[in-house]
Amino acid sequence: MPVLECKGLTKRFGRTAALDEVSLTVEPGRIVGLLGPNGSGKTTLIKLANGLLTPDGGYIAVCGTAPGRESHSLVSYLPERTAIPTWMTARQLLDFYGDFYQDFRREAAEEMLDHLGIQPRQAVKQMSKGTREKVQLIMVMSRAAKLYLLDEPIGGVDPATRDYILSTIIGNYNPDAAVVISTHLIADVEKVLDEVIFISQGRVALQSTVDGIREEKGMSVDALFREVFKC
Amino acid sequence: MQWQFSNDAPIYTQLIQQVKVGIVTGAFPPGERLPSVRDMATEAGVNPNTMQRALAELERDGLVYSQRTAGRFVTEDNTMINTAKRSLAERHVKTFLEAMLRLGFRKDEIIDLISKEFGEEEADHASA
């Protein structure tokens, strides 16, 4: 069963269709890049997949069920903006995630925090922006979820932090789960991805494997993206 | 090991080449166990499925072999490793020659340039 499936999925905001008849499938064990220019509908799709928005038409399912209360236990979501409570300490954050999510792997999270040199007593508000992003990603990846939805996980962080985030995603790879990463920083993530989905003005422009594109076109996904979305 | 990728070829074929280089240069010594797919993927910064695909191909070629529970190992067959070394070298030579011919060099000029680079031209002058 696919981890994420959409058929004719449509979402309108007023008169504009943010997503227009989107059909796609994400299989378990895949790391998929959701790629598109600003305003193409990436975040809308991610929000529909975790039930923060409801569709105006078509079908969307996570592991066979419509997004909602049940699917929250299957989906681990990294929002575009850092959303961890800043007044908490690292330890309180671990307790918080442990209380909320049965699938939270506390030991894995502790090990990753320790690796970063973060003390349990350190407060989130004392951390730099980059460190907060790392901590939030650690929390999200420490859940044994079926679908990880990462909305712009590498936007606005320095290259070293970017590398750390990508290697954390690879290091937590689980063949039974899928990861969807939305970004426009393609060159940085392309090696980490199995597949890419190009979305343009709310429609799927292309779904292919990274090596399929490189083999057929003799160019990187980044180069193809620049060609397809040339301004 | 240093992992580097170009933009014009599939990632898995580049991984195959680089693991081969690792085996030939002894970064992955004969008979040694390879790190897990996940660890190798993390180190190279690539997708684990892509790394898996590359290793599976190397296994088909016989350069690495699996033991069901213990993991993947580098072959102990030195002939096979030498063949891989030779074919890597031939690829380099081919690429080099293509570039030189494109620049308009003839065979004797190319050989001359290489000899000079090796500092053999003094020996030539001495004997002349």
DSSP string, B80-110: HHHHHHHHHHHHHHHHHHHHHHHTT--HHHH
Is position B4 within any domain? no
Residue of B nearest to A223 (CA): B7
Residue A2 near residue A166 (C-beta atoms within 8 A): no
Q: Give chain B positions within 8 Å (CB) of A192.
A: 45-47
The reply to whether B69 and B84 lie within a common domain is: no
Q: In a mutagenesis test of the A interface, which of B49, B51, B52, B57 is the best target, namely the one with the most A β-carbons within 10 Å?
A: B49
Same-domain check for residues B30 and B61: yes
Q: Are residues B107 and B55 part of one domain?
A: no
Non-local CB neighbours of A204 within 8 Å, separated by 6+ positions: A22, A23, A24, A197, A198
Residues B44 and B100 in one domain: no
Q: Is A171 within 8 Å of B12 when comparing Cβ atoms?
A: no
CA distances to A37, A231, B10, B31 from A226, rounded to whole Å, are 10, 9, 18, 45
- Same domain? B55 vs B103: no
Domain span including residue B103: 79-127
Could you give the CA distance from residue B42 to residue B37 in angstroms, rounded to a whole number? 8
pLDDT at A231: 77
B87 and B62, same structural domain?
A: no
Question: Do B85 and B56 reside in the same domain of the chain?
Answer: no
Which one of B7, B47, B50 has the shortest CB-CB distance to A223?
Answer: B7
Residue % of chain B over a pLDDT of 70: 93
Write the DSSP symbol of residue B65.
E
Contacts of B48 in chain A (CB under 8 A): 170, 173
**CB–CB of B7 and A219 under 8 A?**
yes
Average pLDDT over residues A194-222: 95
Q: Are B17 and B70 members of one domain? A: yes
CA distance A34 to A174: 19
**Crossing angle for the helix pair A129-141 and A106-115, to the nearest 10 degrees:** 150
B88 touches A at CB < 8 Å: no
Across the range B101-118, mean pLDDT stands at: 94
Q: Within 13 Å and on the Cβ side, how many CA atoms surround A41? A: 25
Question: Is the pTM above the cut of 0.80?
Answer: yes
pLDDT at B125 > cutoff 70: no
Instruction: Please give the pLDDT value at position B69.
Output: 83
What is the C-alpha separation between A117 and A133, in angstroms, rounded?
15
Q: Which residues of A touch B38 (CB under 8 A)?
A: 170-171, 173
* Burial of residue B122 (number of CB atoms within 10 Å: 0-12, 13-18, 19+): exposed
Whole-complex ipTM = 0.88
We report the CATH number of the domain holding residue B54 as: 1.10.10.10
Establish if B60 belongs to a structural domain: yes
Number of domains observed in the structure of chain B: 2
| Average of per-residue pLDDT across A27-53 | 95
- pLDDT tier, B128 (very low <50, low <70, confident <90, very high otherwise): low
Which chain B residues touch A170 with a CB distance below 8 Å? 38, 41-42, 45-48
Phi and psi angles of residue A174, each rounded to the nearest 5 degrees, phi first: -135, 120
Q: Which residues of A touch B18 (CB under 8 A)?
A: none
Determine what percent of chain A is predicted with pLDDT higher than 90: 80
Mean pLDDT of A165-169: 92
Q: Do B99 and B57 fall within a single domain?
A: no
Q: Band the pLDDT of A82: cuts 50, 70, 90.
A: confident
- Three-class SS of residue B125? helix
